[in-house]
Amino acid sequence: MLGSLWQTFKDAVLRFLKLKSPKPHIQWQAEWKGFLEEHVEFYRQLTTEDRLLFEQRALLFMHTTEVFNGAEPASFEDRLLVAASAIIPVWSFPKWHYFNLSTVYLLPAAFNDDFQCGQKDSLYTGMVGTGPMAGKMALSRPALYQGFRNPNDKRNVGIHEFVHLIDMADGDMDGFPERLQAYRFAIPWFELAEKKMKAIEKGRTNIDPYGASNKLEFFCVASEYFFERPQMMAKKHPKLYQALEDIYQQDRAAIVADIKKREKEICVCGSGKAYRECCLPRD
């Protein structure tokens, strides 16, 4: 049943994009589970059933979005991390498709406006295109990996850039995702964002200072914080956490708390071992 629903969803998306069956056809590889297990904490926290859904959504993303490492097609490991960056923010919206993205370019380091690395002004680690560059994203490959390597620093450039695309999906890049949340909530959100941005400027918060740049960047920076350190945000910034929980329809703090609790409990299989050392899903 799950397989047929997945195929129906995939076919519908491909028809919408007016794409024929992708060539070459990508099939899920068993070793990719291990890669996601090792690199993506969000994936590790999922149930076995939800991991399957995550894998299917990653496959769909890889079928519909090209990823290049320089001028060459990116490795599947690279593509999996890009896919994970795309899926995490819209996990609670299974029919979401990034219609405003066709290609992702991975660069060897930070880059400038001309996508040159190693220059004095090569300061960007991520960028989404507008105008002639619409539908394209550029990411520093090392920064992409670092974002998943350290899941506790409140920074993930992949998630950051995909949140920009979510914001842009309503046709207006303004720091509020109307495709996910009704516009009537925009004014309270902007008021909260303004308050938090002023706190950042005064050094009174642990939110990344880059979030004070403008409302667009605040939304992305706050989202990175929400997905990487949800319990900390819920404690230190409860109103901000609640607003992002409403937007993304994910109570990340409760999910993480439940996982930590279950990890310490004795496994129900009767082994006498802690759940985290016994039957906690890891494959």
The residues spanned by each domain of the chain are: 28-169, 170-250
Say if residue 170's pLDDT is above 70. yes
Beta strands in the chain (DSSP E): 66-69, 72-73, 101-107, 126-128, 135-140
Q: Is the pLDDT of residue 65 over 90?
A: yes
For 155, other C-beta atoms within 10 Å of its C-beta total: 19
Identify whether the C-beta of residue 64 lies closer than 8 Å to the C-beta of residue 16: no
Percent pLDDT > 90 in the chain is: 75
Closest of 125, 42, 113, 109 to residue 80, by C-alpha: 42
- Per-residue exposure over 88-97, b if at least 16 CB sit within 10 Å of its own CB, e if not: bbbbeeeebb
Condensed to tens digits (0 to 9), the pLDDT of residues 177-236 reads: 999 988 889 999 999 999 999 999 999 999 999 999 999 999 999 999 999 999 999 999
**DSSP class of 140:** E
When pLDDT is averaged across residues 31-59 and rounded to a whole number, the result is 96
The tokens describing 188, both together, are 């309270």
Per the listing, tokens 């370019």 go with: 105
Residue 277 has pLDDT above 80, yes or no: no
**252-275 pLDDT, tens digit each:** 999 999 888 776 666 656 677 766
The predicted model scores a pTM of: 0.86
